[in-house]
Amino acid sequence: MDKIIIRGGKPLSGRIPISGAKNSALTLLPCALLTDEPLTLRNLPRLADVDSFGHLLNQLGVSTMIEGARPEDFGRVMTLRAGRVTSTVAPYDIVRKMRASILVLGPLLARAGEATVSLPGGCAIGNRPIDLHLKALEALGAEIEITAGYVTARAPKGGLPGGDFGFPVVSVGATENALMTAVLCKGTSTLRNAAREPEIVDLCNLLVAMGANIEGIGGSTLVIHGKDRLHGATYRVMADRIEAGSYACAAAITGSALDLIGAKLDEMEATIAALRQAGVHCEEIADGIAVRPNGKLQALTLSTAPFPGFATDMQAQFMAMLCLADGASVLTETIFENRYMHVPELNRMGAHIEVKGRTAVVHGVERMVGAPVMATDLRASMSLIIAGLAAEGETEVNRVYHLDRGYERLEEKLQAVGADIERVGGD
């Protein structure tokens, strides 16, 4: 099994191209099921999760063709076509590896009238039930049954009528599934307390490009006027705001200047606000965001929240950065109940972090020291990379397959700006 070796303490300088957003790409790919015409997605990141989703779509009858990168994009171009859906079953052996696989449930139901999807897997960061996905689909007219680890959804004779649904709590995935179902319903659907993440806006914009009629894009109430069919489109995946925020934390902890090419300030305002509060200089430039050192890092009090709040996917990276801040930082995780598994690993590197329930207190230390550490999930993996870049000596990060699910060409990008980092084969 591969591991990543980092010899820390090197200043970073230069430009890092930000890849297409993983969380957006995995939402846009299943839209291919909503039409029999070709859907071309540009700027797709080269990630294990994207490949896995492509394999899942292939099993459902979707053809995929990869064209490689274009000069204006860092990522790949993929054309998908579901001329006809040949299977409505998403099997356990693929779905168990990636939670996002549940996002084929709505499109299959809307297009084919039925769908059977294994209960999902993904990172072990706590209980992430899909009850809101199912309740939203029921509100749109679906009949739901759960047996032997599979969810089966069926449309009534004559198709899904559509309906109204208010999410009791904000759910990104459930909003996405409901949106992709509602666009092919017979009537008008209203989704209240819908998620407002930039990735939701990206999904809405693609669906509109395919002929959908959606009102309220960017707000918490979405009104979808169902169409009989959608058509193909060509669409560029948005830049990954979580990747950009991660590299910003790497710049901050090492006191380095980095330009994050393709990142957009208005898509990551909470992250930028927190960086600025910690004493990091961030400003918009013509082709991205400039991150500059501005003295000693300052302690923060942060609480994760749905967009436009501070993203749970940035919590681990900020925790690593704040290990070298002046004072004690308080981080509260409100989204997932098991997202502090990186804490023991950071403490092995000399951090001083105490966890009580959903709150972590990060006492800033003067220095960190490299050590062998174990990655436990995707964002935790990146927190260890960030810590390793600033630590004295050598850090060995094991189980890096988590990183390959969400960070494209990580070592290559960091090497290009001066990091001493390499991937080596494991035993």
Catalytic (active-site) positions: 123
Nearest to 90 by CA among 15, 30, 169: 30
Q: How far apart are CA 83 and CA 67, in angstroms?
A: 19
Find out whether 17 is annotated in a ligand binding site.
no
Angle at 221 between CA 219 and CA 227, to 5 degrees: 110
Query: Taking the CB of residue 125, how many other CB atoms lie within 10 A of it?
Result: 23
**Strand 257-261 and strand 288-292: pairing?**
antiparallel
Quote the CA–CA distance of 371 and 115 in Å, as a whole number: 47
Q: DSSP character for 381?
A: H
Task: Flag whether 28 is marked binding.
Answer: no
Q: How many CB atoms lie within 10 A of CB 65?
A: 11
Is 23 labelled a binding residue? yes
The answer to whether the annotation marks 313 as part of a ligand binding site is yes
335 is in an annotated binding site: yes
Written as six digits, the tokens of 322 are 């704040």
Residue spans of beta strands (DSSP E) within 124-278: 143-147, 150-154, 164-166, 188-192, 213-215, 222-225, 233-236, 257-261
22 is an annotated ligand-binding site residue: yes
**Locate tokens 């380095």: which residue?**
256
What radius of gyration, in Å, describes the C-alpha atoms of the chain? Answer: 21
66 is in an annotated binding site: no
CA distances from 18 to 35, 106, 260, 414 (A): 30, 30, 6, 12
Residues in the chain: 427
What is d(CA 167, CA 124) in angstroms, rounded to the nearest whole number? 24
Buried b (16+ CB within 10 A) or exposed e, 327-352: eebebebebbeebbbbbebbbbbbbe
Bridge-based pairing of strands 13-17 and 257-261 is parallel
Question: Is residue 97 marked as binding?
Answer: no
Say if residue 93 carries a ligand binding annotation.
no
Ligand-binding site membership of 99 (annotated): yes
- Per-residue CA distances from 248 to 12, 245, 260, 342 (Å): 11, 5, 8, 19
Residue from 302, 290, 310, 307 nearest 328 by CA: 302
What's the maximum distance between 2 C-alpha atoms anywhere in the chain?
67
Hey, is 3 helix, strand or coil? strand
For the annotated binding site for UDP-N-acetyl-alpha-D-glucosamine, the residues are 99, 128-132, 313, 335
Binding site as annotated, residues for phosphoenolpyruvate = 22-23
Binding residues are 22-23, 99, 128-132, 313, 335
